Structure 1
Amino acid sequence: MKTKDANDLLERYRAGNCTEEELRLLRNWFDTLGEEEKAEFSAAELNSISTEMWSAVQPRRKQSGKLRRISYVSAAAVVALLIVSVFAVRLFMKQQPEVPKVAITEQLTDTAFAAAPGSQQATLTLADGSIISLTDAKNGAIAEQSGVSISKTADGELVYTITANAAAQNNAWNTIATPRGGQYKVLLPDGSVVWLNAESSLRYPPVFAGSERKVILTGEAYFDVSAHKTMPFVVSTSKQQLTVLGTQFNINAYPETDNTITTLLTGSVRVALADSTGTATLKPGQQSSVNSTIKVVTTDPNDAIAWKSGYLLLENETFEVIMKRIARRYDLDIIYQTKPAALQLGGRISMNRPLEEVLQALELGTHLHLRVSGKQLIVSE
C-alpha cells in the first residue's frame, strides 16, 4: 500500500466512511509492515500516521459477549515500535462501556517517575550465614570458602573459581537473591551460567560433589549448563524437578503463579513433578507447564528469555499478571482502586524504557488510569 492510499484510508476512517474491507486492509498493512514497505515512507510520515492512528481510531463494538480484538492498538503500536522505539501492545477485551482515557503526564509530579528499570542488584548469603551486598561490593575477590574463590567482575557478574584443595561440605549452601527491580548473573563452579530475574533466588553448594549438581530455584532464571555426563544438573522448584546433562533452558517458578514454566532452547531435559508421579522429556522448542500435571507445547523459546534483553513478552496475559511483572521490574507495589475489566494483553514491552512510557501505552490500551505515588502504582478508572 502506498503513502497516498494509506492516508486516504485514514481520512475515510476518521470520517466514519471506511468499509469493513478497507478497515481490514488498513489494519493488515500496519500489522505486516516490513523493511521494504518502511522504505517507502519517511520517518516523519510514519510518525505522523502512528499519531493519527492513536488519536483517530476508536474501538468498534460488537454485540457479542465474547472476547474481541481491537486492532487499532496493535496497528499504532507496531508502527511506534518500528519508528519511534516505543513498544507493541495488542489488546483483547470483553465488551464494556468506553471509559475516558486520562493522560498520565497530567496526573504526576516531576518526581513521580523515580522508579527505574531493573539493574544489577543482589545479595549473597554464604554457608556461614554472612550476607554480602553484591550491589555495594567492590569488584574483585569478596569471599573464599571450601577452597573456592568468589569474586565480582567489573560487569557485575558473580564468579566461583575452584582453587587448590577444594572440598564439598555437607549442608553448605550459598544463596544469591535479587530484589524487585534487580537481576544478576552467576558463574557456578562447574562452569554453568545462571541469569536470575527480579525477585528470584538460587541456592547451590559452593562445590558440586556426589552424583548430581543440584540447585534450588525460586522465581525465574535462565540456565546455560555445562556438560557433565556422569553428574547431571538438577534444578528443584516447589512444583517440579528438572534433570539435565548440558543444555540451555529457562524456568519461571514465581510463588504466586499457578504453573511452573520450563522452556528448552538446546539439548534435552527431563521434567518431573515434585512428588515424582509424572515425568516428561522436552526437546528444543518445547515448553512444559507444571501444576498437578505436566503439559507440553511447542513454542518460540526466545520469547521465554526476552527478559534477559530487557523485554516483557505478553501472550494473552491478564492485566493483573502484567501489573505483577511490571511491579517486580520497577520495584513497585500495586494498589487497585477499581477492579480491572476482563482484559487480555499481548505484545512486547521494552522494560528498559522509562516507566512513564510503559504506563502511557497501557493506559491507551486499557482505558485505566495508572498513577505512581512513591513506591506505589495506583490503578483507577
Structure 2
Amino acid sequence: MDKKDFLILLRKYQKGKASKEEVDFLIAYYQLFELQDDVLAEMKEQEKIVLGMEIKRKVDEMLGAEEEALDTKPKSLWFRSPLVGLVAATLLCVALFAYWRYTPEGKGQVQVAEQDTAIIRPGKDDAVLTLADGTQLILNNEADGVISQQSGVTIEKTADGELVYHMKTQGEVLENTIQTPRGGQYRLVLSDGTKVWLNAASSIRFPTAFVANERRVDISGEVYFEVKREHGRPFKVFSENQMIEVLGTHFNVNTYREETSNKTTLLEGSIKITKLDKDRNPIPHISKLLQPGQQALISPVNNHIVIESAQNEDAVAWKDGYFKFNRDDLQTIMRQVARWYDVEVEYQGELSRDQFVGEIKRGENIEEVLRILKLNRINVTIVGRKVIIYN
C-alpha cells in the first residue's frame, strides 16, 4: 500500500464508511509500525486528534473484551488481540501512543506514586573523558571547540556533541577513556577516523593516536563501530570475554554483564571473533568468522561461540534513537529501560511470560514507554526512581 492509498483509507475510516476488514487492516497497519512521519504530516491537526480518539476507543474496546474472556481462555505467551491473525506476533501498539497524547483520555495508564510525581526523562548525551594524567572532563559541561591538547593530538567537541581526535604531529602515545553513565550516551571519532557510539553505562579506552602496527581499544557495555579501513593495520576490540579483529567494517558489540551473553552483530564487512581466557589472552582455537547479517554469542561461563542470523536494525536501534524488540521478554526489555532512564526495577509476584515485538522512540518519558505493559495487562507503579512491576 502506498501513501496515497493509505491516506484514502484514513479518510474513509474517519467518515465511518470503512468496512470491518478495512478497519482491522488500519489497526494492524499501525501495529506493524509502517506508518511514517511523512504520511502524518499530510494530515491536519484536527484530523489527527479525531483519528487518535477513535483508535484509542477501538483499543479500549479490545482490552475490555479480552478482560471478560480471561476466565475462560488460557493465558497465552503472546499478547492477546482480536487482530492477532492479521498482525502475526506484532504486539506493541506504539504508533498509537503518539495519538494518545493528544487527548486527556490517553493519560493515567501508568500509576505514579503521589509522594513523588517527578517526570523520569530519557537519557541524553552525557559522558566523562579521562585524560592520560587523570584529569576528568564532564563533556556535556564543556563548551564547543578545542577542549584539550595532548602530545600532538587536539581534542575537539563539535556543535552536535561529538568528540573528535585530530592528530597534528606524532608525539608520545597516551591513553584516554570515555565513560557514559546510566542514562547517558556519546559519540566519538578516533584519530584514525573510526567512528564510535557509546550506549548508556558503557566505556572505551583508546590511544590518542594509533602509531603501532595494530589499532587496539578496550570496551565495556554496548558500543557501535564504523571502523576506518587501513590495510596492514587491523583494528582490535577487546572486552572481558572476547577479541574482535577487523580491517574496516560496521558492527555492534553488547557486553553488558547483566545480559546472558556477549552479542556481536555484523552489519557490513567481515570480522573475526576470538574467545579470551580468564587473563584476557586470546584462545586461538576458539574463534569464528562473521559475515554481514550474522550475530556471535559468547557466554562468560563456557568456551563456545554460537553464530546465528540477526536483524541488523534490532542491534543498532539504540544508536538510531529507538528501543526495538523482537520477541523479547519482560526482563530483557526492562534491563534496557533501567539503563537508559537510570531507574531501578523491582518485580513482585510471578513474572509475565509474554514476549514483545515492536519499537518506540528512546526520547519518550518513561511513562510513555511503560504504557506497552499496560496494553498487556501488566501492572506498573513508579515510586521515585523505582519501577515496580507486579501481578
What is the TM-score with the length of structure 2 in the denominator?
0.78
Determine the C-alpha separation between the residues in 2 that align with 1:110 and 1:339.
27
Determine the C-alpha separation between the residues in 1 that align with 2:20 and 2:127.
54
Determine the C-alpha separation between the residues in 2 that align with 1:50 and 1:104.
12
Instruction: Specify which of 378, 381, 386 is matched with residue 368 of structure 1.
Output: 378
8 A Cα contact 1:249 1:266, kept in partner: yes
Determine the C-alpha separation between the residues in 2 that align with 1:245 and 1:138.
34
State, as a whole percentage, how many aligned pairs show the same letter: 33
Determine the C-alpha separation between the residues in 1 that align with 2:195 and 2:100.
31
Determine the C-alpha separation between the residues in 2 that align with 1:304 and 1:124.
26
State the match for 1:159 in structure 2. Answer: 164
CA separation of 1:142 and 1:33: change in aligned 2, threshold 3 A: closer
Determine the C-alpha separation between the residues in 2 that align with 1:310 and 1:110.
31
State yes or no: 1:67 paired with 2:69: no
State the match for 1:238 in structure 2. Answer: 240
State yes or no: 1:350 paired with 2:361: yes
| Cα distance, 1:211 vs structure 2 | 2.2
8 A Cα contact 1:122 1:176, kept in partner: yes
CA separation of 1:211 and 1:7: change in aligned 2, threshold 3 A: same
Residue type of the alignment partner of 2:296: S
Name which of structure 1's ranges 354-363 and 197-206 shifts more when overlaid on structure 2: 354-363
Give secondary structure in 1 for the equivalent of 2:332: helix
Determine the C-alpha separation between the residues in 1 that align with 2:157 and 2:51.
48
State the match for 1:122 in structure 2. Answer: 127
| Cα distance, 1:344 vs structure 2 | 2.2
CA separation of 1:73 and 1:203: change in aligned 2, threshold 3 A: farther
State the match for 2:176 in structure 1. Answer: 174
Determine the C-alpha separation between the residues in 2 that align with 1:32 and 1:267.
30
| Cα distance, 1:282 vs structure 2 | 1.2
Determine the C-alpha separation between the residues in 1 that align with 2:125 and 2:82.
36
Give secondary structure in 1 for the equivalent of 2:208: coil
State the match for 1:265 in structure 2. Answer: 267
Residue type of the alignment partner of 2:386: Q
The 5-angstrom pairing of residues 1-381 of structure 1 reads 3=13, 8=20, 43=48, 44-45=50-51, 47-57=53-63, 58-59=65-66, 67-71=77-81, 81=95, 84=98, 103-104=108-109, 107-109=112-114, 112-168=117-173, 172-275=174-277, 276=283, 277-291=285-299, 292=302, 293-365=304-376, 367-381=377-391
Give secondary structure in 2 for the equivalent of 1:70: coil
Unaligned runs of 5+ in 2: 1-8, 102-106, 278-282
Determine the C-alpha separation between the residues in 2 that align with 1:173 and 1:225.
19
CA separation of 1:115 and 1:82: change in aligned 2, threshold 3 A: closer
CA separation of 1:152 and 1:68: change in aligned 2, threshold 3 A: closer
Unaligned runs of 5+ in 1: 12-22, 88-101
Determine the C-alpha separation between the residues in 2 that align with 1:241 and 1:257.
18
CA separation of 1:319 and 1:264: change in aligned 2, threshold 3 A: same
8 A Cα contact 1:77 1:86, kept in partner: no
CA separation of 1:31 and 1:56: change in aligned 2, threshold 3 A: closer
Residue type of the alignment partner of 2:231: K
Determine the C-alpha separation between the residues in 2 that align with 1:78 and 1:334.
21
Residue type of the alignment partner of 1:279: S
| Cα distance, 1:349 vs structure 2 | 2.1
Q: CA RMSD in A?
A: 3.4
CA separation of 1:77 and 1:273: change in aligned 2, threshold 3 A: closer
Residue type of the alignment partner of 2:345: I
Residue type of the alignment partner of 2:190: L
Q: Size of the alignment, in residue pairs?
A: 349
- Residue deviations 1:316-365, cap 9 Å, x none? 22212211110111111112333423232222122211222111222222
What is the TM-score with the length of structure 1 in the denominator?
0.80
8 A Cα contact 2:32 2:358, kept in partner: no
Moved over 3 A (4+): 1-11, 25-36, 41-47, 57-69, 71-80, 82-87, 102-111
Give secondary structure in 1 for the equivalent of 2:331: helix
